[in-house]
Amino acid sequence: MLKVDAEKCIGCGACEEQCAFGAIKVEDGCAVVGDGCTLCGGCIDACEAEALHIEEAAPGRETADLAAWQGIWVFAEFRHGSVAPVTYELLGVGRRLADQRGVALSAVLPGSGVREECDGLIAAGADRVYLVDDPALAQYREDVYGRVLEELIRRYQPEVVLAGATAIGRSVIPQVATRLGAGLTADCTGLDIRPEDGTLLQTRPAFGGNIMATIECPDTRPQMATVRPRVMAPAEPDPARSGEVVDVEIAPGHLGSRVEVLETVVSQTEQVNIQEVEVLVAGGRGVEGEKGFALIRELAEELGGAVAASRAAVDSGWISYPHQVGQTGKTVCPKLYIACGISGAVQHAVGMQSAEVVVAINRDENAPIFNIATYGLVGDLFEVVPLLARKIQEMKK
């Protein structure tokens, strides 16, 4: 919180002049801080009398009345013309948490021209959509989105806020949590709630994926968590569901940004979407190089799928990072995952073990990948993979 020391303030107005958000005014010879303050600190630098300072929130400052914080929120991420699929996955788990706790599930949708997305969010489980539809939100800008979310959370006081662990979620959510003094658990793989006190039980891999830790934030609200895409299943949409759309106005002072977006280009990373295909053929160190990946690609094409990889293959430069599956790559959940020359290290397994069917091809019969495989083929991938591709080709004929 920005504090004014009335004893030191000389009412010179330098702070008022400096504030881009119109959040500080000199009244009766002394600076007064209003609602639009973003704690940017510009006025502090401008104040020669050293009359301004930011007072750090005491730990657990939101503890005063935990019961005042109610409801489960999902940040509805809108990008490239549609709501990100992870939003629907979060509404699936959010619905369960809200029912267990007996509270409403709400989606928060910031954007420009996004009103028509509200029905889809309600069909996916939301009881309410907080819609912030403003041209200033047409492009994602971390500072503006952060301020909007912070403002909404302070105004409506949800007990839980969930967001996707996407590039956008990872950039904006920590900033909001820090400003609110709230607890945040990143990359959760499981979420539950204790109905009696509303504590969110946030489970995620820890210590390099060797243990699963369940984290609680009992003293502060909201409890914030991010979840990677494809970790949770979306609920079946029900177009007959009804819900409320709340139009939220944000003070213009909160919508200014230091960032100007000149152009948005869809990156190649997003074009290779291994999270959205039903069949993945993955190569590891056993594939031995780019030539080996040509075999993997052939099999993937025969099956109408895409190519994935272990970190060892990516680190070796045989294939690019967007293909990496695992703890530091993507989490995938295809119908069929064929792991070729991949040992099945825990950091790889956490990214693919929820695939419906796993086929492992490995020449070492003791490779850990066989512990999670539905079908295991012990053999040399350079023989087995072309054989499989040929067989599928024949079957198609």
Ligand X SMILES: Cc1cc2nc3c(=O)[nH]c(=O)nc-3n(C[C@H](O)[C@H](O)[C@H](O)COP(=O)(O)OP(=O)(O)OC[C@H]3O[C@@H](n4cnc5c(N)ncnc54)[C@H](O)[C@@H]3O)c2cc1C
372 binds ligand X (CB under 6 A): no
Residue 221 or 348 having the CB closest to ligand X = 348
321 binds ligand X (CB under 6 A): no
Which residues fall within 8 angstroms of residue 188, CB to CB, at 6 or more apart?
Answer: 202, 203, 204, 225, 226, 227, 231
320 binds ligand X (CB under 6 A): no
Encode 310-354 in three state secondary structure: CHHHHHCCCCCHHHEECCCCECCCCCEEEEECCCCCHHHHHHHCC
Stretch that binds ligand X, among 62-70, 182-190, 230-238, 336-344 (CB under 6 A): 336-344
381 binds ligand X (CB under 6 A): yes
Distance CA 22, CA 252 (A): 9
Stretch that binds ligand X, among 51-59, 157-165, 266-274, 335-343 (CB under 6 A): 335-343
342 binds ligand X (CB under 6 A): yes
348 binds ligand X (CB under 6 A): yes
311 binds ligand X (CB under 6 A): yes
312 binds ligand X (CB under 6 A): yes
Taking the CA of residue 352 as centre, how many other CA atoms within 13 Å lie in the half-sphere pointing to its CB? 39
290 binds ligand X (CB under 6 A): no
- Shortest CB 203 distance to ligand X, Å: 18
Q: What does the block give as tokens for 40?
A: 């940017």
113 binds ligand X (CB under 6 A): no
Contact flags string 8-37 toward ligand X, x per CB under 6 A: ------------------------------
Distance CA 326, CA 321 (A): 11
Strands 52-54 and 2-4: antiparallel
**Binder among 98, 191, 231, 367 for ligand X (CB under 6 A):** 367
- Matching residue, tokens 């530091």: 328
Three-class SS of residue 163? Answer: strand
Q: What does the block give as tokens for 347?
A: 């950091």
**Binder among 169, 329, 334, 376 for ligand X (CB under 6 A):** 329
Residue 90 or 381 having the CB closest to ligand X = 381
328 binds ligand X (CB under 6 A): yes
- Shortest CB 287 distance to ligand X, Å: 8
Residue 232 or 312 having the CB closest to ligand X = 312
Residue 202 or 327 having the CB closest to ligand X = 327
Residue list 195-224, contact with ligand X (CB under 6 A): 208
Q: How many CB atoms lie within 10 A of CB 8?
A: 13
Q: How far is CA 33 from CA 57, 156, 285, in A?
A: 17, 22, 59
Residue 191 or 385 having the CB closest to ligand X = 385
Backbone φ and ψ of 233, nearest 5°: -90, 140
364 binds ligand X (CB under 6 A): yes
- Binding residues for ligand X, rule CB under 6 A, total 29
Strand order in the sheet with 105-111: 184-188, 223-227, 160-164, 72-75, 105-111, 128-133, 244-247
Residues at the contact surface with ligand X, assessed by CB under 6 A: 208, 284-286, 310-313, 324-329, 341-343, 345, 347-348, 351, 361-364, 367, 380-382
